[in-house]
A and B are shown apart, each in its own frame.
Chain A
C-alpha cells in the first residue's frame, strides 16, 4: 500500500504531539512532513520562563531532538514558513518556494502575540514574548539596558517581568485591569500576589492604559512609555504581553471558516475534512485553548482520527492555572469568581500569605482559587473535574485531602514537603526524586505517562494523588491532568460506564460482541479489560452470558490464591465464622496428608491452608468436604460475626444467626471487587462492622445497617444507611445495596469508592426511599445467585477447567525418541 502524505504546518507542541500519538497508533500509514518557522526542533514552550529567569537553558527544554525526526522518517523543513495552502491541488507552498503535496493536512500554527495598536509599537526595543528568539532578545537587552516595561499583567507578563528582574533590570508591569491575573485570580488573591512581587522589587501600574511608546532622544530605540493620564516612565525595553491571538491567517486565506480560531469539529477537522487543526490556532466549540493540557487531549483525538480509528471525540477541557514564578504558589480553576447560584468558602490569612477560596454550586465544587498554599490544588481540580457531590466533605473541604484521612505513605500527603529520597510509591519502591527526574528528563506530562515510565502508582494506586501533585509541582501550569473521562483500558476509549451501558442496552452477551460493538483496538483485549468485561457480562446477564475462565485472574480460575512461589492457599468457608469438631478434624487431616507447611487463622474468622500444590487442589477440596470460601475472588468473602445474644451477656440480637443467613444468601456472588460483611450483636460492635462493605449492628429495637466501609489501603468508616426491624429487612436492604453496587460499580472499584463516586444521597434514595426499586434490586440479586454452584463441590457445573490441575508429563525424554 502506498503511504498517504501528511503535512504538518507548525513544529510546536500541539503539532508534534499529534505526530507522536499518530506514530504510536499507525506508524506506517503516513509519509510525514513538518514545516516549522523557527530554526529549532520541537521545544517545551512552557519552560521559556525558567530559561528567561536563568533556571534552565534552551537545550534543557528541547522535547524532540533532530535525531528523533530522522529516526521516525519525518521530513523536517526548519526555518521555512508556509505562506499558502492550495486546497484544489492539495499542496502547501512555503515562502522559499518549497512545495509539498498532502492527502491530509494538519494546521498547528499556534498563536501570535497581540501588539497594542499604539504609536511606536514598531520601535526597536519593543518585543513580544512568544518563542526562543524573543527570549534571547530579552536576555540580551537585560545585559545592556536598565529599564523594562512589561505591558500586560497576565501569566506571561508576570513571568517575563520576574525573569527580567532576576536578570537585573528595573521592571514595571503596566496592566489595564484593576488587579493582576484578572482571568485567573480574584482581587484578594491578586492583592497578595502583588504584595509579594513588590517585595521582590517589581513595580506595578494597575488600571493603566498605554497610549504611546516614544523613542529615545536619538530616535533610534524605545525611550519611554506614555499613559492615558499623560504620565510617562522610562523604558529601554518594552515587552508586549497583552494577550495572544490564534494564528489563522493561513487558514483564512485558504477559505477555511475561522472565528477567533480555525473552527474545528469534535474530531478536530476543519470545514475541509482533509484538513485538521489542533492547538492554540483551533477554536473548538467557541474556545481556543492556550494551555498545554487541552492541546494534548486534542492531539490524541486528532491522531486517532488520522489513524483511521475514528473512535475518539474531543469534547472540551476543564483547565487550571498555575504561575511559574519560583517561590510563588497560586492555583485557580473553574468558576473561581463565583457568581449566581454559587456559595463560597474562604480562608484568609493575609499576614501568613495564605488565601483560599472554594466555589460550590448545588453541592459540587465548581471553582477554586488558592494563593500561598496550593498543595491541595490537584485534589480540588480532581473534585471539580469529576463533578461529584461534596456535601459530605464540606466540613473539611477547606483543610485539604490530608484531612479526610490517609494512610500508607508514612503520613506524607504533601508532595512539596517531601525530600527527593522519600518513597512515594510503596508498592514499586519509587522515590519522589525518581519521579521528578523522569518527568523532566523524559518530558512526561500525564499521570499515565509517569505510571508507564516509573511504575509509580501503578499497583495499588493509593499514591495516585501524591504523584499527581508531584506532576503538577514539577510542570507548573500546564500539566496535562488525567482526562475527566477515563478509558477502561488502553484497548478502548470508552469508559467503564459506557461499556456497562452498551452491554445492558444492546444485550451484548459475549466479550467478542462487546469488543466488536465498541470497536476495541485489540482482537481479544488485555489483562485489564478481559476480567472486567467478563464480570460485566456475567453481572448484567446472569444465567445467559457465558463465563470465560481464561478471562479471569488465576485465583478465580483455580479457585485458590496463588502465592509467591506458585503454590496456592486454600480457605474453606465457615459460615459466619462458625465451625465444629468434624470440620476441624478434616482440616487437620488435610494439613497432615498434603504436608501443608503453614496453617493460619485469617482476619475473616476462617482457617487458611498455605503452600498447597496446584495438582493437589481438587483432592484437597474433596477431602475437606467444605464449601469454597471464595477467599480468592472479586466476590463475597466473609461475614464476620460476634457471639451475640446466644451467649454474650451484652448481646441484644442473634448476630451469628444473622451472619450465617447473609452469607448463605450471598454465596457465589461475584462483584466488581471483593465484598466483606460483618454482623455485631450490640453497639459494642466486636465484629468491627464499621470497616466493612456492609456492616450490620444489632440494637435492642432492630438492626442498624452501615455501608461502604473499608479496612484496607485506606481505612474508611462505613456510613449509616438506615435502621430496620426484622431479619428479613436486613437481607433485603443489604442485598439491594450489594446488587446496586454489582450493577453500577466499575470493575475493581470497592464499595467505598463506588459510594464516594455516586454520593451517599443517591444510595439512600435508591435503597431507603424507593421501596419498589429496592425490592426489584433484591429480587435481581436472588435471581442472579439462584443455584450458584460450589466450584469445589461441583467443578464442572461451576465451569472450572480441570485440565489445569494436571501438568503435561514429557513422554520419555530420556530415551531420546525420534531422531
Chain B
C-alpha cells in the first residue's frame, strides 16, 4: 500500500469495478449516514445519500456527466461539490475520494463524523 494512502487514514471501501459505469452504490454503516458512491468514467465521487430538496436517495438517480439527477423530483446535483444546479438551491455533503490500484478509498475522519 502506498505511503499516501496509509498516512491520511484512508479506508478501502470497495473495488472500482464494483460500481457500475455511470451508476452508483450505497455505502452503509458509517456514522455520517448512508453515502452514495458514483462512478463517471474512471472518476469516483462520494456524496451523502440525501438530496438537499426532500431527502431523496441520490444513489438511485441517473448519472450524467459529473452530475446526478435525484429520482424523486429531478433536482440535479453536482457530484464534485454536492451543490444543486440552478434554479434550485441547496447542497449535500461531499466526501473526499481516492482511487488507487482499482480500489476506492474514503477518509476515516469524514465517515466518522456525526451527521
Contact = CB atoms under 8 A, between A and B. Distances in A.
A811 B10 CA distance: 12
B31 to A, nearest CB: 7
Interface stretch (A2-10, A122-130, A311-319, A550-558): A550-558
B64 A819 contact: no
Contacts of B13: 808, 810-811
Interface string B50-75: 00001011001111110101011110
A803 B25 contact: yes
Contacts of A813: 11, 29-31, 108, 111-112
Contacts of A564: 54, 56, 72
A817 interface: yes
Contact of A810 (B6, B27, B67): B27
Centre residue among B62, B65, B67 by max chain A CB count within 10 A: B62
Contacts of B14: 808
Interface in A531-576: 531, 549-555, 557-558, 562, 564, 566
B60 A562 contact: yes
Contact of B20 (A527, A531, A550, A809): A550
Contacts of A553: 62, 71
Centre residue among B6, B31, B73 by max chain A CB count within 10 A: B73
A87 interface: no
A158 B1 CA distance: 81
A454 B87 contact: yes
A641 to B, nearest CB: 32
A419 to B, nearest CB: 24
B90 to A, nearest CB: 14
B65 A816 contact: no
Interface stretch (A300-308, A365-373, A518-526): A518-526
A808 B71 contact: no
Interface in A11-67: none
A527 B108 contact: no
B62 A801 contact: no
Contact of A550 (B23, B27, B29, B108): B23
A566 B56 contact: yes
A807 B26 contact: yes
A731 interface: no
B107 to A, nearest CB: 11
A582 interface: no
A818 interface: yes
B9 interface: yes
Contacts of A810: 11, 13, 27-30, 111
B64 A801 contact: no
B63 A550 contact: yes
A803 B31 CA distance: 23
A566 B60 contact: yes
Nearest to A551: B62
A669 B45 CA distance: 35
B28 A808 contact: yes
Contacts of B12: 811
B69 A527 contact: yes
Interface of B: 1, 5-6, 9-14, 18, 20-23, 25-31, 34, 37, 40, 54, 56-57, 60-65, 67, 69, 71-74, 76, 86-87, 108, 111-112
14 contacts: A455-B87, A524-B22, A526-B67, A549-B20, A550-B22, A554-B61, A554-B71, A564-B72, A803-B25, A808-B13, A813-B111, A818-B6, A818-B10, A819-B108
Given A549-B20, A807-B34, 10 more contacts: A525-B64, A526-B65, A527-B64, A550-B21, A551-B62, A553-B71, A810-B30, A813-B29, A813-B111, A819-B108
